[in-house]
A and B are shown apart, each in its own frame.
Chain A
Amino acid sequence: MKNKRLFAVLLTGVMAAGILAGCGSSSDSGSSAKDTSAAATQEATEAATEAATEAAAEAETESADTGEAGMASWKPFAENVELKVPVYDRGVEGVPDVTNNYWTKWVQSNFGDKYNITVTYVPITRSDVMSDYAMLAASDSLPTILSEFDYPKLAQWATDGYLTTFDMDEFKEVAPTFYKAMEDNDLVKYSALDGDTYFCLAQNPYYETNYNWEVFYRKDWLEKIGYDEYPTKWEDRKAMYQKLKDEGICDYPLGGQMCTGLGADQNYAFRDYPQDEETWAVYGNYTIPALGSEWNRRFLQRENEKYSLGFVDPEYYTIDTETAKANFVSGKTLEFGGYISANMDFISAFYENNPDGELAVLVSNDTVDDDGSVPFAFRSNNPFGVMSGFSSQATEDEIKAAWMYMEWLLQDDNLFTMQWGEEGENFNYDDNGLPVSVADYDGDKKQGYSNNKDYWNLVMNIRTAGTIEDVIRQNTPSDVPNAEELTQGVIDNFYAQEKLAEEGYSVKDCLYATSIEAESEYQETLINDYKEFRDKIIMAAPSDFDATYDELSKNFADDGWQEVVDERTAAYENGQTTKLD
């Protein structure tokens, strides 16, 4: 009986504690992963904290008065400061825990401990960035740094009060290397919104090309039906796709997959070059597909044709990216695109499944098609990589710690180590003295996704060592049957895209120096609308294409697109946009 009573008390206590665990102060709440990470680093930090506190007590605010700038002027904080850094959680198998691994600890011991800063990493779901940040903001647990590749997201965070403004001169004092890099790359002009400074911008070498994203196709299939290379003009392509079907090589050469939203349906191939600047400013930005614009209509008409000719899987709208990848790997489709890296899972898997198959890279050229379209025109990246802002919920010390972190990360030695890892384990030097990653390294020092990119992208968008050809060689698979040929294809495509850029076919999207409030208001609705409408348009009978397109464009406009257009037009007319090169 006594035991039963005791059991009841204990059970109740545990259950009540479980319920109330979620009711703590939001200021110290956060994911369990973060807590684990914090706990893991806490122990290492404590010892350093003690020493650092003593040093800080002596130094006090000396740094502000010495006139020194940058790392030389940094002193440890008197009180321990928690720096919360966002890191993408991509849900990719085989990568270490993003919040607690060798490299997060390496940062703590080489940076955090030195300055009495506890660096904790906040996981952000890559596919649901906005929702994650919204939840963090609502629970008063925003990371100190808020970072993203897409300018409109940062603009929305600024508008919604997630971000604080800051003084660029103060930033320059703390992080002179970072500032100089921004200045050298002409990025400072992108740091303000409506006249207030909000953003720091990472460098993005070779941004005018898209060499790090390539389309791979079945060269062996093309040879089988008598083609030496992938045709560039639409009529020729159609004939090729049809032949693949007719000869029973595949049912749906282009496969297809569901529209994923942001960045979908880029219509650069269907624009009128040289572009009209106002049209580009109002309809050219890819963050909300411009349903109703002439460029989008041409794009979707082509997609409609592909669908009606049976080149695309009729169930494409139920196929996600992983299934599309699996279809390619299992030899059901002609082509598949993806980011290049030294270890590309779908390329390796392809050769395992198709030992007689052969892949090639689809290399761009400056063909202008008979209908005036430019098949290989493309969207240039932004001149900057990740944009970072700083939390309005953070203290001054926390923001200073964030600036210190970014400056420290950009130092050559630190950046190199984060990007390449440890010599002899993660990489080795080749005969030319250039680092070469060990693709199958699986030890304790295993890097995160894409060579730790989600940590160092706050300061730099790609790994560079040597020339661009070296960079490409370092980032293409070397352990597949025709590795050299694939690498050469990527290099050829780089130069082809460079040529396209020179000819004006590499397009930088317009950026707005003012907040487009209608975008914040309607973006999600419009993107979800677009996914639905574009599929209806693509699947419409070709004879109904125009009627369907017009009807759904009207609905799209009514759902907020017209307001976006009006605000963008006003911003353009007021000179609050970037200009066409």
Chain B
Amino acid sequence: MGKNKEETAVQSTLPRENRRSFAKDLKRDWQLYLLLIVPIALVIVFNYASYPGLRMVFYDYKPARGWDGSKFVGLKIIQKVFHDRKFLGSLSTTLVFNLLDLALGFPMPIILALMLNELRVHWFKKVSQTVLYLPHFLSWVIVGSVAYAMFRPNTGLVNMILVNAGWIDSGIPFLTEKWHWAVTYLLIYVWQTMGWGTIIYLAAITSINGELYEAAMIDGANRWQRMTNITLPGIRGTVVTMLIMNLGKIMGSNYERLDSLQNTQVRDFSYQLAIYIYEKGLQGAKFSEATVVGLFQSVIGLIMVIIADRIAKKLGEEGLL
């Protein structure tokens, strides 16, 4: 509040023609404001217009009966969901796998960006980047099909090679035994996302003042020292922001990823919230139960973002909010 007052005071001392006025800005940059309508409309339509539908959690909602024909049940659906053994199981599995995703998937783009930044052969850097970005453009359905073609115990390419080379006696159940599946599932995610994730860090690295590197080199800093003392601190703010955003997804769940990689032998691990929501909401037409879970995911995500933001600020970072 104090800061705002100061700004207002500063503005009032400026010559009249320099004062910022929204109308003037609008007149000058109207094309940009016009373009802004699109993302704002997107957010309004898909993020806010659906809010009234959240009351579904208090109704035994039947789409064909509408709101008037559906019964108001208070907290009954919420209680039902939170007493559902399958929900609780999928919740804990989701949490564990999201934490593992975070632990494995979050540092990888940073490491990769640092490595790419150190490449000195320009064309090799470009080719590497392209190769690394490519998996991002493959849908999970394709990734799943390829994964099964590669990792089936007996007929998967990888196992066939390993068996024929005499390195193993029988195929490794990469995708058909739950513990192996968990590792494969996590690594495929890292492979698919790490390249694309480097973009933001590489962009942050380019904003670091080159003179810092020159000074460090004159002082005799080797590459490792420049990386740890200049590059990493230089992108710290970006890392924290990305971490906060990723923590917001801690309760998220990706249906396509799970569906394309699951099979009946790994359901202990693959039965996560997205599958639960699909099973209840779409297959079983229980929209209220699916909405309860969706709302729960969002609330937890919001809480996580707020907590992470507060912690970041206490540690001296800018935070996100």
Please give the residue numbers on chain A whose beta carbons come within 8 Å of chain B beta carbons, in ascending order.
Answer: 4-5, 8-9, 11-12, 15-16, 19-20, 22-23, 130-131, 133-135, 137-138, 140, 142, 156-157, 160-162, 258-259, 314-315, 317-318, 391-393, 520-521, 523-525, 528, 531-532, 535-536, 539, 558-559
Contact = CB atoms under 8 A, between A and B. Distances in A.
Contacts of A11: 35
B19 interface: no
A157 B148 CA distance: 37
Contacts of B41: 16, 19-20
A240 to B, nearest CB: 23
Contacts of B152: 315, 318
28 contacts: A4-B31, A8-B31, A8-B34, A9-B31, A9-B34, A11-B35, A12-B37, A16-B37, A16-B41, A19-B41, A130-B285, A142-B64, A160-B63, A161-B65, A314-B153, A317-B176, A317-B263, A317-B265, A318-B263, A392-B65, A520-B284, A524-B280, A525-B86, A525-B279, A532-B264, A535-B265, A536-B264, A536-B265
B282 interface: yes
Contact of B176 (A318, A523, A524, A558): A318
Interface string B56-76: 000000111100010000000
B9 interface: no
Given A131-B282, A524-B284, A528-B279, A162 B38 contact: no
A8 B31 CA distance: 6
A12 B35 contact: yes
B85 interface: yes
B45 interface: yes
Given A130-B285, A317-B265, A558-B85, 11 more contacts: A8-B31, A12-B35, A130-B282, A134-B63, A157-B64, A161-B64, A318-B176, A525-B284, A532-B267, A535-B264, A559-B86
B278 to A, nearest CB: 9
Contacts of B86: 525, 559
Contact of B62 (A23, A160, A393, A525): A160
Contacts of A536: 264-265
Contact of A315 (B34, B62, B176, B283): B176
B24 to A, nearest CB: 17
B155 interface: yes
B38 A15 contact: yes
B221 interface: no
B42 interface: yes
A435 to B, nearest CB: 41
B63 A137 contact: yes
Contacts of B65: 160-161, 392
Interface in B70-105: 85-86
Given A5-B31, A318-B152, A135 B264 contact: no
A523 B35 contact: no
A411 to B, nearest CB: 31
A186 to B, nearest CB: 30
A157 B86 CA distance: 25
B106 interface: no
B38 A315 contact: no
A19 to B, nearest CB: 5
B154 interface: yes
Contact of A317 (B49, B69, B264): B264
Contacts of A558: 85
- Chain B's interface size range is 20 to 34
Contacts of B285: 130, 133-134, 137, 156, 160
Interface centre among B45, B153, B154, B265 (most CB of A within 10 A): B265
A314 B65 CA distance: 47
A9 B285 CA distance: 42
B267 A19 contact: no
A554 B161 CA distance: 42
A198 to B, nearest CB: 13
Contacts of A161: 62, 64-65, 69
B155 to A, nearest CB: 7
A314 B153 CA distance: 9
B283 A162 contact: no
B185 interface: no
A392 B64 contact: yes
A76 B41 CA distance: 44
B264 A12 contact: no
A535 to B, nearest CB: 4
Ranked nearest first, the 10 interchain pairs of A and B with the lowest CB-CB distance are A8-B31, A138-B63, A134-B285, A161-B65, A137-B63, A524-B283, A161-B64, A535-B264, A524-B284, A131-B282
Interface string B267-296: 100000000000110111101000000000
Given A259-B264, A317-B264, A19 B38 contact: yes
Nearest to B275: A528
Contacts of B284: 130, 520-521, 523-525
B292 to A, nearest CB: 15
B38 A16 contact: yes
Interface string B175-188: 11000000000000
B279 A20 contact: no
A386 to B, nearest CB: 20
Nearest to B285: A134
A558 B86 CA distance: 11
Contacts of A258: 263-264
Contacts of B279: 524-525, 528
Nearest to A162: B64
Contacts of B175: 318
A64 to B, nearest CB: 29
Contact of A314 (B62, B148, B154, B264): B154
A153 to B, nearest CB: 11
Interface in B290-310: none
A23 B45 contact: yes
Contacts of B263: 258, 317-318
Contacts of A393: 64
A23 B35 CA distance: 20
Given A12-B38, A16-B38, A135 B282 contact: yes
Contacts of B45: 19-20, 22-23
Contacts of A532: 264, 267
Contacts of A12: 34-35, 37-38
Given A20-B45, A161-B64, A8 B35 contact: yes
Interface centre among A12, A523, A558 (most CB of B within 10 A): A12
Interface centre among B41, B264, B280, B283 (most CB of A within 10 A): B264
A23 B50 CA distance: 11
A12 B283 CA distance: 37
A89 B141 CA distance: 20
